[in-house]
Amino acid sequence: MRLLIWLLLIYIGYRVIVAMVRGKKPEEVNHGNAIDAAVTHRDPVCGMYVSEEDAVIGKLDGQRHYFCSMSCLEKYREQLDHSQNP
């Protein structure tokens, strides 16, 4: 009976060691949130952070600006017009 218990303990120890050495399977690896990995930019009007994929891009004064929506882009253009033509 003792031999059976020892064999069972050795087998369990073996399985634990193998599991620790192998680590997580590739599908279990946490790569973080996809949104976190995306490059984000701050909307100059409302301050919201938006990814390049989802952003409305406006090229103003030779520079690219990233906006969360068309309404923020239009507000920014209006602010530029008012500041340039008081």
More confident residue, 25 or 6: 6
pLDDT tens for residues 61-86? 789 999 999 999 999 989 888 887 76
Question: Total structural domains in the chain?
Answer: 1
pLDDT at 31: 53
pLDDT at 12 > cutoff 70: yes
- Taking only the tens place, the pLDDT of each residue in 16-62 is 888 888 765 555 555 555 555 678 999 999 999 999 899 999 988 78
- What would the DSSP string read from start to end of the chain? -HHHHHHHHHHHHHHHHHHHHH-S-GGG-----HHHHS-EEE-TTT--EEETTTPEEEEETTEEEEESSHHHHHHHHHHHHHHH--
Look at residues 36, 71, 76, 40 and name the one whose alpha carbon lies nearest to residue 55.
40
- Residue numbers of the domain that contains 8: 2-84
